[in-house]
Amino acid sequence: MSIFMSKAILDFFIAFGIVLGGAMVGGIGAVVSLQPPTQTMLDVADRIKIWALAAAVGGTMDPLRVIESNMIGGNLSPAIKQIMYIAFAFLGAHMGSELVKWVCGRG
């Protein structure tokens, strides 16, 4: 498997795991604090998506710098790869959120 695909798959599953794990642990925290776990899990899953995306691609500024420096220099290949990494991470975060919605009965 190419390096690009292996990193893209890794970014997908990192973002997926952050959303899913965060929602599950948030649900446990809701039970401990006597709040409704379903609503808490849905709220956490929606709020954590952007942070899952940022964590999966390795921070917020580095990928943007790669895109900027390569597009200005005329080398589009690294910029397109970074955009694809962000897209895979977004898909992972979104699928994690949709899974939480489905499990909680709202999807």
Confidence of residue 83 (pLDDT cuts 50, 70, 90): confident
Q: Give the pLDDT score at 75.
A: 65
Q: Is residue 52 pLDDT above 80, yes or no?
A: yes
> Which of 41, 7, 8, 50 has its CA nearest to residue 23?
41
Cβ proximity of 11 and 94 under 8 Å: no
Q: Is residue 70 pLDDT above 80, yes or no?
A: no
Confidence of residue 99 (pLDDT cuts 50, 70, 90): very high
- pTM value? 0.84
Q: Give the pLDDT score at 39.
A: 94
